[in-house]
Amino acid sequence: MAEDRIPGFATLAVHAGAQPDPTTGARVTPIYQTSSFVFEDVDHAAALFGLQAFGNIYTRIGNPTNAVLEERVAALEGGTAALSVASGHAAQLLVFHTLLTSGDEFVASKKLYGGSINQFGNAFKSFGWNVVWADPDDISSFERAITPKTKAIFIESIANPGGIITDIAAIAAVAKRANVPLIVDNTLATPYLCRPFEHGADIVVHSLTKFLGGHGNSIGGIIVDGGRFNWTREGRYPKLSAPLAEYGGIVLAETFGNFAFAIACRVLGLRDLGPALAPQNAFLILTGIETLPLRMQRHSENARAVAEFLVDHPAVSWVSYAGLPGDRYYNLAKRYVPKGAGAVLTFGLAGGYEAGIKLVSSVKLFSHLANIGDTRSLIIHPASTTHRQLSDAQKVQAGAGPDVVRLSIGIEDKEDIIADLQQALG
């Protein structure tokens, strides 16, 4: 690449973070399938453990295959650094572990992936981390939810499963006024469709399991540091702003500057809680990312064609896809996801719960399973599966009422996808 050119997104998707292997010349990033790494000598070991030198110690804390993935996703998101972990949920766990202590609060959109609603409302409660829910369709509800104990705000850029486009910049303004970081789960959009840091986000998280990996073959998650938040103000984030005895008294925010958050998640959260990403999975996800721009274009084109088909179908009472003109989120979609509204859409069946069960049992090309972001077209009836553990009111709030069906449209021929739905809807 010419020195003076800033590489485009598709080039970064193929190359960012990777070099031919210096030892063997291997062009594709190898899977460094090793638990640990030999030190050069005692001084080198001491420098690594004291955070005075960067390098590999033990795969729970870092691995060279994972490091390429981290650099690549950081480049695609426009962040300063990233940390890959075992799942999307592990990414969320480490973010909040770094930000919160027992008794703290955070504000989260109530229209999130059902698993995140569970994680925040149940598991996090047992750590003394208290979630306060707000409505992404009413920005003032975020403002009202802020208290002196609030340490962060969490939203999804495109919410799963409702297809809601969140006004990231408006919520970033609330976070800024409250001096707390805005965390955006960018799983459904991916950085190809939306780059939350450009709209004021401070931290981005992903389930790599979905569109970044893209082939339904690996579970993974990642945390991307935006590098702009001031962690030292008022000492509200002690893991970043207070001296760490275990690391010779260094202050992470001072030593690591604009990538201190990613470092804190690694050297405290990942080290102590342990959800490391297997290098084999990092390899598969890296390979997937190389085609991210091509896949996201095709996913979005196919999903729009399916949404247009469903709108006209007599068995369908409503369709929620922000890429459809006239959709409630169409204007926000033009602003936040101008290249396309992604693969995921929901629709309502006039026949309600029973019709949902019948549809998922009748499709042939679609796979009935609990995932999104595969090359294959996927279908689920959230009320009977992913969201069944929520109360009826929470289901409706999360966009997963009894009549709702969620599709994750794959990259097959759109005519085949539509024909399958046509025969299954009867």
Ligand X SMILES: Cc1ncc(COP(=O)(O)O)c(C=O)c1O
Q: State yes or no: residue 196 binds ligand X (CB under 6 A).
A: no
Handedness of CA 157, 158, 159, 164 (dihedral sign): positive
DSSP 375-414: SS-EEE-GGGTTTTTS-HHHHHHTT--TTEEEEE--SS-H
Q: How far is the CB of 335 from ligand X (least distance, A)?
A: 20
Which helix (H) or strand (E) element contains residue 318? strand 316-320
Q: How far is the CB of 373 from ligand X (least distance, A)?
A: 8
Question: Contacting ligand X (CB under 6 A), which of 59, 98, 190, 207?
Answer: 207
Closest CA to 213 of 293, 300, 281, 114: 281
What angle (nearest 5°) sits at the alpha carbon of residue 345, between those of residues 70 and 385? Answer: 85
Q: Which of residues 115 and 399 has its CB atom nearest to ligand X in the complex? A: 115
The answer to whether 111 and 159 have CB atoms below 8 angstroms apart is yes
The region of 86-94, 233-241, 317-325, 402-410 touching ligand X under the rule CB under 6 A is 86-94
Q: State yes or no: residue 408 binds ligand X (CB under 6 A).
A: no
In the complex, which residue's CB is closest to ligand X?
88
Question: Contacting ligand X (CB under 6 A), which of 59, 150, 187, 218?
Answer: 187
- How many residues bind ligand X (CB under 6 A)? The answer is 16
Q: How far is the CB of 158 from ligand X (least distance, A)?
A: 8
The answer to whether 402 and 245 have CB atoms below 8 angstroms apart is no
Token pair recorded at residue 72: 């690549």
Q: How far is the CB of 205 from ligand X (least distance, A)?
A: 7
- Inter-CA distances, 30 with 63, 65, 276, Å: 11, 7, 18
Q: How far is the CB of 386 from ligand X (least distance, A)?
A: 8
Give me the helices (H) in 64-180, please.
64-77, 88-99, 114-118, 124-126, 139-145, 168-178
Token pair recorded at residue 133: 């829910």
Residues 362-381 that bind ligand X (CB under 6 A): 372
Q: State yes or no: residue 116 binds ligand X (CB under 6 A).
A: yes
The region of 84-92, 191-199, 235-243, 281-289 touching ligand X under the rule CB under 6 A is 84-92
Q: State yes or no: residue 115 binds ligand X (CB under 6 A).
A: yes
Q: State yes or no: residue 160 binds ligand X (CB under 6 A).
A: yes
The region of 108-116, 193-201, 325-333, 354-362 touching ligand X under the rule CB under 6 A is 108-116
Residues 167-186 that bind ligand X (CB under 6 A): 185
The site for ligand X (CB under 6 A) is made up of: 87-89, 113, 115-116, 156, 160, 185, 187-188, 207, 209, 219, 221, 372
